Structure 1
Amino acid sequence: MAMSIESIRETVSLHKGAKISYRAANGRRKIEERTGIIKETYPSLFTVFIESQQSIISFSYTDLLTKEVELQLEPSGKSII
Structure 2
Amino acid sequence: MARSLEYIRELVKQHRGSRVSYRSMNGRRKVEEREGVITEVYPSLFTLYVESQRSTVSFSYTDVLTKEVILELLPGHERLA
Normalised to the residue count of structure 2, the TM-score between the two structures is 0.97
| Structure 2: segments with no counterpart, 5+ residues | none
Pairs aligned (count): 81
Aligned to 1:68: 68
1:12-43 Cα deviation digits (max 9, x unpaired)? 00000000000010110110000000000000
**Map of 1:47 onto structure 2:** 47
3-state DSSP of counterpart to 1:10:
helix
- Provide the rounded CA distance (Å) in 2 between the counterparts of 1:69 and 1:15: 16
SS of alignment partner, residue 64 of structure 2? helix
Which contiguous aligned blocks of 4+ residues in structure 1 show a shift greater than 2 angstroms?
A: none
Shift of 1:77: 1.3
Q: What secondary structure sits across from 1:64 in the alignment? A: helix
Is the partner of 2:10 in helix, strand or coil? helix
Alpha-carbon distance in structure 2 between the residues aligned to 1:7 and 1:24: 20
Sequence identity percentage: 59
Backbone CA RMSD of aligned residues = 0.6
- String of CA shifts for 1:32-78, please: whole Å, max 9, x gaps: 00000000000000000000011000000000000000000111111
Mapped partners of 1:30, 1:9: distance in 2: 26
Is residue 2:56 matched to residue 1:59?
Answer: no
Instruction: State how 1:1-81 maps to structure 2 within 5 Å.
Output: 1-81=1-81
Unpaired runs of 5+ residues, structure 1, are: none
